[in-house]
Structure 1
């Protein structure tokens, strides 16, 4: 990538010292300092020169500098004002001919709205996501940015396994189902601990995804309400696990049979299409997919955090 001088360990340390930066676990700050790793990430993301990329948590700019020569534009979302202020200066210094491709937003990625990014619309997400909020950030961005058609993110290795898991596997759960609503995904390889500063105490991995149309029949909020209720008691048969959501065990069984689902099956055996059928089969579907009930007892299921 001849148009951009990438950061190595010495440059990362020098930038950090110049900012008097002390990486914090609270913000999930572990910075990649290996040029070969960021080149590999960009290759694995299968970007085209007309892609517009959202990068979350650019940090000191290692991945940003690798992305800029490969795409039309990069929106870098950085929650730390100190790092956000430095990023444009780093790009101007190390990739002056590409600086006009970069837009830096000082913001919490969990609260970013599409209107804040403006035009052109993002078409890809490529990021070293903060490990403490990686799943909710990814799901929020996919919901908020419908033009995003593919991406590659780095997260904790076990989180990659959960996100890419298929029904029936040991790691399958709420994150797996919710990501499947938006996209097909797969593990795209490991990332060694040694390429980070400071070195994390967990293994990392790459998750690749491609957008797909969600199942028809129910809205996302309705489907996710079913998923949260079903996995809140994942060891129970769905007849019991969905009793709060439906109003009673008998009401849950009625909905499940209407959806063509065995009432004694567990949540971990169902895919996104089956959960959508369950949501669609509820006879008194409210605006949020939760209100009301088909039985006499009307209670709310407690949503499971992702």
Structure 2
């Protein structure tokens, strides 16, 4: 099957009068070896339903189509979304029926928009929204079991960072809530048109169960956001606003078995879950006591 090379990509762009924009993070892959490598590394099977975000002109789409049961391609650009089925029919007629194109913003897309339950995410993600897109899809698509995404190299490092690393932060912890995340290799600049000013990297995600906790994901994520909002502060100070006071933050940390003088970058996602759980239980207990007090006052009246 034919793939898009430099000549085909530029010809398509000229036909559609497309000038790649930084606003949409458009850098089109022009190297067939790279898209084949991504598909191999994603370890897709003939039973997979792949979701691809930002397919662009279809370089990766064409490499995916023969290897999976279905490709759901989510494209925000109406011109590119309209062209992709035509490109698939022209260059991969025997597999074009496996393609569904959804013209939508990936940050707003949900299961009802896709027409199928994706099992794997394979994408060259727009670099300006790569982390929000990954976290959004993992949150709203429980059918996703794994993924392989190409992102800016620095973002790949942050997503796969481990506790104690200088680059470990909010993306690292939130991604770890959903999946085991690791770096899956570098990608050079010359495989794109236009060539970006940054290097790229592949990130592998394998879904895992979130930490066992009575706290909700939203409650845990609030702790994570607060802990890294002021990285240089100890958790006792960083979580003071979140908990109400520094003393309340310290109490939650001690009950969770976390040293209040520790900083956020030292903790794993399980630690943040324990902190949120203890604070949430205290909050619920406080509300219960207040409710009982109001009921008692009502009975007296």
TM-score norm. by structure 2 comes to 0.93
Residue among 221, 232, 256 paired with 2:253: 256
Deviation of 1:134 (Å): 0.3
Runs (4+) of structure 1 moved beyond 3 Å?
283-286
Residue among 118, 122, 126 paired with 1:122: 118
Which structure has the greater CA radius of gyration? 2
Equivalent pairs, count: 283
| Residue in 2 that maps onto 1:77 | 74
Question: What SS class does the counterpart of residue 163 from structure 2 fall into?
Answer: coil
| Residue in 1 that maps onto 2:96 | 99
Deviation of 1:277 (Å): 0.2
| Residue in 2 that maps onto 1:132 | 128
| Residue in 1 that maps onto 2:173 | 177
Question: What SS class does the counterpart of residue 96 from structure 1 fall into?
Answer: coil
- 1:197 paired to 2:193: yes
Higher relative helix content: 2
Deviation of 1:285 (Å): 4.2
Q: Distance in 2 between matches of 1:102 and 1:219?
A: 36
Question: What SS class does the counterpart of residue 127 from structure 2 fall into?
Answer: coil
Q: Distance in 2 between matches of 1:285 and 1:144?
A: 27
| Residue in 1 that maps onto 2:11 | 14
Residue among 195, 199, 202 paired with 1:206: 202
| Residue in 1 that maps onto 2:161 | 165
Q: Distance in 1 between matches of 2:45 and 2:270?
A: 31
- 1:271 paired to 2:253: no
- Relative to 1, partners in 2 of residues 1:268 and 1:21: Cα closer, same or farther, differing over 3 Å? same
- 1:246 paired to 2:238: no
Q: Distance in 2 between matches of 1:118 and 1:76?
A: 11
| Residue in 2 that maps onto 1:232 | 229
| Residue in 2 that maps onto 1:112 | 109
| Residue in 2 that maps onto 1:23 | 20
| Residue in 1 that maps onto 2:29 | 32
- 1:44 paired to 2:41: yes
Question: What SS class does the counterpart of residue 133 from structure 1 fall into?
Answer: helix
Question: What SS class does the counterpart of residue 74 from structure 1 fall into?
Answer: strand
Deviation of 1:118 (Å): 2.3
Question: What SS class does the counterpart of residue 199 from structure 1 fall into?
Answer: coil
- Relative to 1, partners in 2 of residues 1:236 and 1:91: Cα closer, same or farther, differing over 3 Å? same
After superposition, give the CA deviation of every residue in 1:212-265 in whole Å (9 maximum; x if it has no partner): 000011211010000000000111110100000000000001111111111110
| Residue in 2 that maps onto 1:281 | 278
After superposition, give the CA deviation of every residue in 1:98-156 in whole Å (9 maximum; x if it has no partner): 1111000010000001111123x100000000000000000000001001000100000
Deviation of 1:5 (Å): 1.2
Q: Distance in 1 between matches of 2:24 and 2:154?
A: 19
Unaligned segments of structure 2, at least 5 residues: 288-301
| Residue in 2 that maps onto 1:215 | 211
